[in-house]
Chain A
Amino acid sequence: MNEILEKITKCVEFGKVDKTSPFPPDLKGQDGADELTKAALEQGIDADTILKQALVAGMDRVGQKFSEKKIFIPQMLMAAKAMNAAIEHLKPYFQSGAIQHKGEIILATVKGDLHDIGKNLVKMAIEGSGWKVIDLGVDVSVQKIMAALEEHPEAAVGLSALLTTTMQNMQEIVTEIKNQKPDNKILIGGAPVNDNFRNKIGADFYSPDPQGAVKFLNEQVN
């Protein structure tokens, strides 16, 4: 692989945002995802290649390590920050159509729940894998999700709940979506959620980590 692409991958993997980032120590003072992505574009590497070969590869490694519990939220967020710094430079190419999304997914933390770390991690991983994410934020009602589905009829739906007390709202939302849109896939996640619960409420997929969600979505389009 091109040397600069490999460097970008490493920056995403270890959360090296830009030259000033103190972490990781062995890359101190060196260019980060921000500078390297800019440089790669200037070298004439096309945006799609940077996304697929550098960023997606980096996120894959991060996701893998998160699944294996080798890294946790702090490291994921650092990786996300590096990823976002790179994506900033690629945005114009998404807008121009030079990069195509694999599909769309609506993400939301369910009604009554204001926690967004988990959802944001999933968002980052899914976006990093080339999907368009419609992020409805936290404390989201079923009406809001249905409205988003009207606008994006093919989209999958990803729901997050961190509180045991809001899992019931998740159940109500899943039931309502399945009643009205039985074909749209629903993915669920969050600390208290598990596959047993998914089965009980009739959602399509549960993953304990973002990487699982990415794999599931990619399987739907491949």
Chain B
Amino acid sequence: MTGKELIKEAFALKEPERIPWIPFVGCHGGNLIKKKADEYLKSSDLMIRGLSKAIELYNPDGIPVAFDLQIEAEALGCKLQWADKNPPAVISHVLSEKSISDLKIPSQKDARIPVVLEVATTIRKNYPDIALYGLITGPFTLALHLLGTDIFLKMYESPDEINELLEFTKEVAKAMACYYIDAGCDVIAVVDPMTSQIDTGSFETFISEPETEVFELIRSKNVLSSFFVCGHAQHNIELMCACKPDNVSIDENIPLEYVRDIALKNKISFGGNMKLTVVLLMGSVDDVYQEVIECLDRGGKKGYILAPGCDLPMNTPQENLMAVKNLLHDPYQQDVVRTLEKQENVRELLNMKDYGITDKVIVDVITLDSESCAPCQYMVEAVKQIAPHFEGIVEWREHAIKEMDSVTFMNSLMVKNIPTICIDGKITFVSKIPPKNELINAIQKRINEKLRLKISSKRARIYVIGKSQKEFEQIKEHINLAIKETGRELEVKYTTDKEMQLSFGVSVTPAIVIADYKLKSQGEIPKVEIIREWIKELD
């Protein structure tokens, strides 16, 4: 099923085979092609490149043409202040100089409208299987751009003027919806974030009618619609649904369950809610995984579209958005994240310092459960098959993380992905089932390493420090006897060197210092935490 079909299924409140996802790539597209926001949002060429890159990286089911709520205001004469990393901001309100009757509905040729329409047409042609979202500025937010914050006072002081203004901005929204529909958009999203800032009474008095009319027009064109809001808009969700959009989309400030229940009651779909800044912008891939699972589980299977709450910040890390895509397409990993989440209180770590120093090579396969997870099963099979080749040298075992002990073991080995193969406690194959030869080579390599280590360990040395050769006599006898009894080959160095005595901190002789030169690693750069553990062993 294509992304567009998945989104249509979600809109129709059927249960799609997978929850669809829409990254709201606005100026973030500029970041993907290393362009500043102002340059990017003015150029159809750059926006097409940025969106194409986003589609390639994030494999979305839907994507917005642009996320810029200043396009209409600019076309109507408001001045913008441009920025490197943000969409522009409106800095002059055209109604401070003109009256409403002086304003004309922008045409397809005004300001940056032709830029975004060209983007829509090209992306439509190049990616026919993705749901293309045309985002238009909602009537109330556009009215605020045109009039400034006086709009709030005038709602009380001169309501007729506000009604006249909203009548005009509604017509602008309808015109923009038609332009985007003609350019091939599948969904028109009316983005009206400022409605979150007014009470239900004002919403009903001023907003309900124009919004409803815009959604009616979109429906009459056989195109889907969505009502986007952000901020603390919980009190208005019911009224938003009553405007009869096909979908409502919200940010993280509103509990997803609340929106889900109201939307489904009104027989419309819903989306958004992913934590934009704390998780997508500033979080780790693990944070993203948990957030995706939380949204999927709370949104449920019917009618939910996974999306961030608003425009993606320009510098949102690519790997975080790719993590959303990867997890969404991998039900096994979803199960892994869910299982680990349930057991997150397991914080105890085992002391793995001496793990893997036995004569045998130990292969640990960390799985979700090889009986129920296909990739895990194949990985276990791979190990099972090659173990007999090493006749008694290799010992293997499976750790299914549905068991608490296995989670502890996994955390202790710092394993993050499932399934993973560790050889003597060292992460060797992550999520990838190794071909037979690779696995054999990896085990053989470890056997060789151990052999080398064994040889190297003979290099331990005993220093006997004394003032004169005479002092060594009895000690020498004891040491030789002990070495003989243990069967170890050790080098013993007898010294009367004062400097060496001082460097070992020896104040009274005779003294014995044992230097155990353990080879800890070679041919690789160990992580800081690993070296830290080695240093701790010295205490």
Q: A residues engaging B (CB < 8 A)?
A: 15, 21-23, 69, 71-75, 77-78, 81, 112-117, 120, 139, 163-168, 171, 191-192, 194, 196-197, 200, 208
Contacts and interface: CB of A to CB of B under 8 A. Distances in A.
20 contacts: A15-B156, A21-B157, A22-B156, A69-B232, A74-B156, A77-B153, A113-B89, A116-B149, A117-B197, A163-B87, A164-B310, A164-B311, A191-B196, A191-B232, A191-B253, A192-B230, A192-B277, A192-B310, A194-B253, A196-B275
Interface of B is mostly: loop
Name which of B149, B153, B310, B315 has the most chain A CB atoms within 10 A of its CB: B153
Interface stretch (B7-15, B78-86, B115-123): B78-86
Interface string B62-86: 0000000000000000000101011
B89 A165 contact: no
Contacts of A114: 81, 89-91
B177 interface: no
B152 interface: yes
Contact of A72 (B202, B309, B310, B312): B202
B152 A77 contact: yes
B379 to A, nearest CB: 36
Contacts, number: 99
A75 B230 CA distance: 20
A200 B282 contact: yes
Contacts of B57: none
Name which of A120, A164, A196 has the most chain B CB atoms within 10 A of its CB: A164
Given A73-B152, A165-B313, A112 B277 contact: no
Interface residues of B, number: 41
Interface of B: 27, 81, 83, 85-87, 89-91, 149, 152-153, 155-157, 193, 196-199, 202, 230-232, 235, 251-253, 275-278, 281-282, 309-315
Contact of A196 (B230, B278, B310): B278
Contact of B199 (A21, A75, A196): A75
Contacts of A69: 232, 235
A75 B282 CA distance: 35
A113 B277 CA distance: 16
A77 B91 contact: no
B281 to A, nearest CB: 7
A168 B312 CA distance: 12
A168 B282 CA distance: 9
Contact of A78 (B87, B156, B313): B156
Contacts of A115: 89
Nearest to B233: A191
A81 B156 CA distance: 12
Given A71-B199, A112-B86, A168-B281, A78 B230 contact: no
A172 B314 CA distance: 15
Nearest 7 Cβ contacts at the A-B interface: A191-B231, A114-B89, A74-B152, A72-B199, A73-B197, A23-B156, A165-B86
B157 A23 contact: yes
